[in-house]
Amino acid sequence: MVFFHFVSINNAEKYAGGQNKGEMLKNKKIAILLSGRGSNFTAIYEAIRRGDLDAEICCVISNVADAAGLLRAREWGLQTIYIPSRGVERTAYDRLLIEALRPLDPALVCLAGFMRILSPVFIAAFPSRVLNIHPSLLPAFPGLHAQRQALQYGVKISGCTVHLADEGMDTGPIVMQRAVEVLDGDTEESLSARILEQEHDVYWRAIACKL
């Protein structure tokens, strides 16, 4: 009986629509790290604007000065930070990232096409708080050109995975996955486009799960 009593109190707090103290104090800040076009970042931004995702993008960081995602974030008035990576050793670079992120205190760091492997130093700085999205059903086809790898192998089902990042390449506990059928005649482009559509719908849901 006592147990059920506790459950109902917790649920009341959880669903009080942000009216109780615990809910209001919850950290909903997310940081986005990207290197390219930023379509996943855009999908996350739109989910927040629609009211589907209760989160706040506290900054968008890129190692590429003219990454389309970084420029778009700037246009939208978000805080953007460019940290050049050329010639900087991996751990030294990650320390710069940590230095930029720490004062912002993000609840989650979301990798969205960030073309760098993070060092153990970075992962340790944000334990169980770094999310990544990958265009395959992990653990199949980690690394670059996952869609090409899937086609070359001849799988009939591929998809995308949101997972907590660890020190490995596209490894770490899986949060959500979406399956996408590989069709006869698919090219890398056509398969990538259908997978990307699913990425855009699954990433914000996985973020919501973890916030």
Binding residues for ligand GRF, rule: CB under 6 A, are: 34, 36-40, 69, 112-113, 133-135, 196, 199
Task: Return left, alpha or beta for 182; rule: phi > 0 is left, psi -120 to 50 is alpha, else beta.
Answer: beta
Distance CA 18, CA 61 (A): 29
In the complex, least distance from residue 50 CB atom to ligand GRF, rounded to whole angstroms: 18
In the complex, least distance from residue 10 CB atom to ligand GRF, rounded to whole angstroms: 35
Distance CA 48, CA 46 (A): 5
In the complex, least distance from residue 171 CB atom to ligand GRF, rounded to whole angstroms: 14
Q: DSSP per residue over 90-108, as a string?
A: HHHHHHHHHHHHGGG--SE
Indicate the residue among 36 and 82 with the shorter CB distance to ligand GRF.
36
Task: Kindly list the catalytic residues.
Answer: 134
* Cα 166 to Cα 108, 129, 136, 149, 163, distances in angstroms: 14, 10, 17, 22, 9
Indicate the residue among 69 and 106 with the shorter CB distance to ligand GRF.
69
Indicate the residue among 119 and 158 with the shorter CB distance to ligand GRF.
158
Report which residue's Cβ sits closest to ligand GRF. 113
User: Which DSSP helix (H) or strand (E) runs through 33?
Assistant: strand 29-34
Indicate the residue among 78 and 196 with the shorter CB distance to ligand GRF.
196
Find the helix packing angle between 39-50 and 188-210, rounded to 10°. Answer: 40
User: Which DSSP helix (H) or strand (E) runs through 75?
Assistant: helix 68-75
Structure tokens at 168: 């490995």
Indicate the residue among 37 and 148 with the shorter CB distance to ligand GRF.
37
In the complex, least distance from residue 17 CB atom to ligand GRF, rounded to whole angstroms: 31
In the complex, least distance from residue 20 CB atom to ligand GRF, rounded to whole angstroms: 35
Q: Which of 88, 107, 99, 86 is nearest to 32 (CA)?
A: 107
